[in-house]
Amino acid sequence: MKIIDGKKISNDKRVEIKERVALLKQQTGNVPGLATILVGKDHASQVYIRSKIKACEDAGIISYHHNLNNNPSRKEIIALINELNANPEIDGILLQLPLPNDEDAQECINAISPLKDVDGLNPFNAGLLNLSKNWDEIIKKNILVSCTPLGVIHLLHESNVIIEGKTAIVIGRSNLVGKPLSMLLLANNATVIMAHSKTKNLKKMCKSADIVIVAIGKPKFVGKEFIKDGATVIDIGINRTTNGLSGDVDFDNVKNMDIAITPVPGGVGPMTITMLLGNTLKAFNNRNGYVRAEIK
């Protein structure tokens, strides 16, 4: 088994982002600004937000946090988003999901300016991704792509995993992960299978895949009967159980196989926040007319 060390790859990329932010400050006197919005008192979301604020500080990105913990209405959330859209000091806006009322989520996301949509969930940016011909176009145009899928692709690239011509299966079809990740894999010339709760013969399909990516939120769902020797396995799941954190892959069950795999924790998780920093830098560049892609 080969471990794909997401923490190390993430740290290396954060050093690069920090250096580029420092150079921008030296050349322009300005640095990117990221606004985060937390609605409600969900403990996991509070932890994530604190991690994102700390990562911004470390990278030299200015962080503006807004905590709405008094059951705000959809109208109030959108009013705040509109204020941030109009604020020239804000380059990126992150609405922490899930919201207490899931029905509010997409309408609130739609209110975020596409130029400041660092989570890549606004329909405009999702459309740009779907219409992109290939990976080079995505990078050249500085398209804002959902952070976790972007982190997965970066992990594969940095681990020298060949994507082109390979069969990749994505288990999970969410707007946040499964769908954009499938588009990114297609852009890298993989043959992509999107699997979900209604997929039949799932084990057989997975067993035929060169790259297996799991994002379903079911602890230890995928075992060795799903995976062939030589495969690359990306575990996006992070589940809190009585025995601690667990991925969607049964790590102990597959640890003796000839595979490359991301651990939980220490795999995809660190990359998500790193890609958020990268997207904030992209948004800064896009808004100021810079053409260079700052992170791939």
- Cite the active site residues: 52, 96, 119
Q: Kindly tell me the burial class for residue 290, based on how many C-beta atoms sit within 10 Å of its own C-beta (0-12, 13-18, 19 or more).
A: middle
Can you tell me the distance from the alpha carbon of 217 to that of 236, in angstroms, rounded to the nearest whole number?
A: 8
Can you tell me the distance from the alpha carbon of 9 to that of 4, in angstroms, rounded to the nearest whole number?
A: 9
Q: Which residues pair with 38 in a beta bridge?
A: 67
- Report CA dihedral (292, 294, 295, 296) to the nearest 10 degrees: 10
Q: Which of 192, 119, 185 is nearest to 155 (CA)?
A: 185
User: Are 243 and 229 within 8 A, CB to CB?
Assistant: no
User: Are 253 and 220 within 8 A, CB to CB?
Assistant: yes
Can you tell me the distance from the alpha carbon of 264 to that of 272, in angstroms, rounded to the nearest whole number?
A: 13
Q: Which residues pair with 95 in a beta bridge?
A: 37
User: Are 202 and 171 within 8 A, CB to CB?
Assistant: yes
Q: What angle do CA 277, 232, 192 make, to 5 degrees?
A: 80
